[in-house]
């Protein structure tokens, strides 16, 4: 068993402000969990604490059923994949993948076998004798993954491993990492600031804000049942519209949330004429931007609908979320 448990984890760097506040999280064995949140919210700090690369100020971390607070990184049975691939430039792909095992004085035959296995899983067979500079970004990242795989870790920790790749390759590597997870049947903890990556990759998503967990749930629940305005505003592109109650002539003390794709339904019971400020043609869809009172909004339209200068929005009240104006918590 190699789940990961975080109990009352806190982190303060050098007695300055707290960057992780009392985080409690239970990651199951073989689960793919994504930590997501804006820059600076504490994702890397949390991951590095699990790895043992960063001290924890308070709390307990368990990997499997072993408390690891005082266990050094190399003995935690984890593998860490960084954003910068951190490959050795003077070594071949084979040597890079083998390096950690060689340092541990693993038998040469076993090393060769493990390198072959990893190369097969990652489709790196034909590149084993090349140096990193002779590889594309995606291939380099696969070498970094290979180096992690050969160690047979109980837990894979990945910190924005795809953010140095171009958009197309990122999409491709996203599904490769998902497949890798299925093949290896190991616990993955994956950090990203990209909500699309989180939604498409995670079995469960942990949404962080300022060192606090906002919600832990499946992608479906995060998207369809956000607990508060922070989570609702974080997922979806464009993000959910937040409309002041008074702007739409409804309950004054609440904020209404509506997804951009739900602003133009056929059987809406709330209709308003708005002025289109900008429209963006994206091929399969068009996004129009407008104001409802003082609330800035966007609607996602099928591309065969041509928005005119004015535009009638049509919303079903059952598609609207309601949030407390003060706390941001979901009312229903
Ligand atoms: N070594 C350090 N000393 C002091 N403060 C630090 C240190 N490392 C990180 N911080 C601070 O802790 C907070 C969380 O940083 P962290 O790197 O965990 O964020 P992140 O969510 O990974 O952000 P990003 O998406 O930009 O990588 C930030 O405010 C950062 O400035
Ligand atoms: Mg980070």
Give dist(CA 264, CA 102) in Å, integer: 60
CA distances for 24 relative to 51, 59, 70, angstroms: 16, 9, 19
Residue-wise pLDDT for 58-101, tens only, equals 999 999 989 999 999 989 999 999 888 789 999 999 999 999 99
Give dist(CA 31, CA 33) in Å, integer: 6
Give dist(CA 254, CA 252) in Å, integer: 6
Please tell me the CATH code under which domain 240-324 is placed: 2.40.50.140
Give dist(CA 276, CA 289) in Å, integer: 6
- Ligand with the closest atom to the CA of 46: 1
Other CB atoms closer than 10 Å to residue 65's CB: what's the count?
9
Q: What is the pLDDT of residue 283?
A: 87
Q: Which atom of ligand 1 is nearest to the CA of 193?
A: 25
Residue-wise pLDDT for 180-196, tens only, equals 999 889 999 999 999 99
Dist. CA 39 → ligand 1 center (Å)? 8
**With a 6 A CB cut-off, is 41 part of the ligand 1 pocket?**
yes
Dist. CA 44 → ligand 1 center (Å)? 7
Write down the domain spans for the chain: 4-231, 240-324
For 92-112, give one letter per residue: b (16+ CB within 10 A) or e. Answer: bbbbbbbbbbeeeeeeeeebe
In the chain, % of residues over pLDDT 70: 100
Query: Would you call 39 helix, strand, or coil by DSSP?
Result: coil
- Equal CATH topology for 4-231 and 240-324: no
Give dist(CA 332, CA 325) in Å, integer: 13
**With a 6 A CB cut-off, is 70 part of the ligand 1 pocket?**
no
The pTM of this model reads 0.92
Residue-wise pLDDT for 40-55, tens only, equals 999 999 999 999 999 9
Please tell me the CATH code under which domain 4-231 is placed: 3.40.50.300
**With a 6 A CB cut-off, is 193 part of the ligand 1 pocket?**
yes
Dist. CA 74 → ligand 2 center (Å)? 21
Q: What is the pLDDT of residue 313?
A: 93
pLDDT of 15 higher than 80:
no
**With a 6 A CB cut-off, is 88 part of the ligand 1 pocket?**
no
What is the DSSP secondary-structure string of 64-99?
TTEE-TTS-GGGS-EEEE-SS----TTS-HHHHHHH
**With a 6 A CB cut-off, is 44 part of the ligand 1 pocket?**
yes
**pLDDT mean across residues, the chain:** 93
Q: Which atom of ligand 1 is nearest to the CA of 41?
A: 21
Beta-bridge mates of residue 61:
6
Residue-wise pLDDT for 251-283, tens only, equals 888 999 999 999 998 889 999 999 999 999 988
Residue-wise pLDDT for 216-234, tens only, equals 999 999 999 999 999 999 9
């Amino acid at each position: 068993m190699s789940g990961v448990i975080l109990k009352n984890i806190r982190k303060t760097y050098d007695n300055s402000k707290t960057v992780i506040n009392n985080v409690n999280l239970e990651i199951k064995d073989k689960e793919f969990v994504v930590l997501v949140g804006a820059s600076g919210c504490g994702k890397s700090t949390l991951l590095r604490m699990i790895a043992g690369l960063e001290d924890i100020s308070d709390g307990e971390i368990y990997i499997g059923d072993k408390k690891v607070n005082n266990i050094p990184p190399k003995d935690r049975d984890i593998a860490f994949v960084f954003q910068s691939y951190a490959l050795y430039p003077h070594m071949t792909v084979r040597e890079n993948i083998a390096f950690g095992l060689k340092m541990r004085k693993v038998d040469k035959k076993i090393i060769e076998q493990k390198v072959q296995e990893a190369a097969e899983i990652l489709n790196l067979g034909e590149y084993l004798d090349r140096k990193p500079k002779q590889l594309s970004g995606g291939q380099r990242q696969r070498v970094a993954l290979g180096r992690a795989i050969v160690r047979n870790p109980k837990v894979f920790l990945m910190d924005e491993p795809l953010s140095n790749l171009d958009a197309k390759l990122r999409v491709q590597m996203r599904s490769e990492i998902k497949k890798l997870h299925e093949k290896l049947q190991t616990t993955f903890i994956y950090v990203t600031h990209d909500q699309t990556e989180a939604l498409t990759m995670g079995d469960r998503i942990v949404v962080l804000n300022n060192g606090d967990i906002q919600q832990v749930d499946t992608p479906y629940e995060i998207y369809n049942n956000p607990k508060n305005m922070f989570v609702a505003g974080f997922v979806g592109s464009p993000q959910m519209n937040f409309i002041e109650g008074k702007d739409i002539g409804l309950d004054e003390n609440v904020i209404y949330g509506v997804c951009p794709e739900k602003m133009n339904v056929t059987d809406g019971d709330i209709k308003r004429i708005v002025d289109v400020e900008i429209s963006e043609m994206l091929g399969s869809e068009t996004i129009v931007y407008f104001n409802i009172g003082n609330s800035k909004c966007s609607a996602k339209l099928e591309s065969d609908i041509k928005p005119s200068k004015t535009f009638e929005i049509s919303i079903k009240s059952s598609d609207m979320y309601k949030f407390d104006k003060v706390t941001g918590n979901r009312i229903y």
